[in-house]
Amino acid sequence: MSSNARATQLTRRGLLAAGSALGLGAALAACGTEKQSGSAAKSEKSGSWEFKDDRGQVVKTKSVPKNIVAFTGTAAALKDFGVEVVGVFGPTTVKDPKTGAETPDVQAGDLDVKKVKVIGNVWGEFKIEEYLKLNPEVLITDMWEKNDLWYVPAEQKDKILKVAPSVALWAADKSMPAVLQRHADLAASLGADVKTKKIQDDKVRFEAAAERVRQAAKGKKDIKVLIGSASPDLFYVSTPVRPTDTLYFKELGVTLVVPTKLDQGGWFEGLSWENVDKYPADVIMLDNRTSALQPEALKAKPTWAALPAVKAGQVIPRVTEPIYSYAKCAPLLEDLAKALENAKKVA
């Protein structure tokens, strides 16, 4: 591995606060480089399917894919839009420390984790043999960096991409409404009815929640919100510039802490626990993924306990990797609105 690749992995590891690494420069899938206007198209005569993904790559298959394998969070979003998958890769289940039973990870949403085939549950795990058994017609995942397939291991990507065409949708650098629309577009191209009453109601709820955040932010401009993720050694303060959720929070008027010394990818600043108070904040949104330390575990960190926002009880979960459906994104906006409405100036 080159020194540049190592550096990239370290910066992404910090973002995930879990040892996850994002190797840049993933190869594009071999099929589907043909240009086309519009994001999706389906031939009624031939029954063929094609979709222009966020790499600008047109993916084509002879028929609408049924055997779909997807990153866990993407699969959960597709399920909310009416599309089922046969297999997933990414954080899907966690073991209950008391019972030892496998329970759904926060990123699994409403997926039936006992029904879908899990071909990888942690970073770097992708069981190609199990993938082949599923006879996949398309692989779908997120994209945090241009042309990089999220949770597809770099050392296996060439083999994986030869099996089936791939689709990648942005999970960064675009505001949440745009990303939601792209997931709806993909689901529709796969045959889902994205105009059902349930989905339309979810969209109305999402839009109402966004307006509630806007109004709350307007009345609490002095309230500073910090986006953080905790690991044993460092506390990561995320920039609001790149993530889809914080980009939208910023558009809605929320006053967000902006770290000044970002990693080379422009994602975060890592602070030692001795310096965790570098950026005054009234509300802390804390990474809720199972890979990051949660409030209970952080009680052992004296500098954390001393933060004004922590002492005031103004710490809320942050869904760092949202499930991009209206049903799942509406509640996170509602939680933020509530936090702003109830927040007191403490920093």
pLDDT range class, residue 322, cuts 50, 70, 90: very high
What's the rounded Cα separation, in Å, for the pair 254 and 324?
A: 21
What's the rounded Cα separation, in Å, for the pair 133 and 246?
A: 39
H-helix or E-strand spanning residue 4:
helix 3-16
- Express as a percent the part of the chain with pLDDT over 70: 87
Predicted TM-score (pTM) of the model is 0.86
H-helix or E-strand spanning residue 317:
strand 315-318
Give the model's pLDDT for residue 97: 81
Over its C-alpha atoms, the chain yields an Rg (Å, rounded) of 20
Check residues 217 and 99 and name the one with the higher pLDDT: 217
Check residues 269 and 26 and name the one with the higher pLDDT: 269
User: If you count them, how many residues does the chain have?
Assistant: 347
Question: Is residue 73 within 8 Å of 329, Cβ to Cβ?
Answer: no
Which residues make Cβ contacts (< 8 Å) with residue 301, sequence separation at least 6?
273, 276
Give the number of other CB atoms < 10 A from CB of residue 313: 10
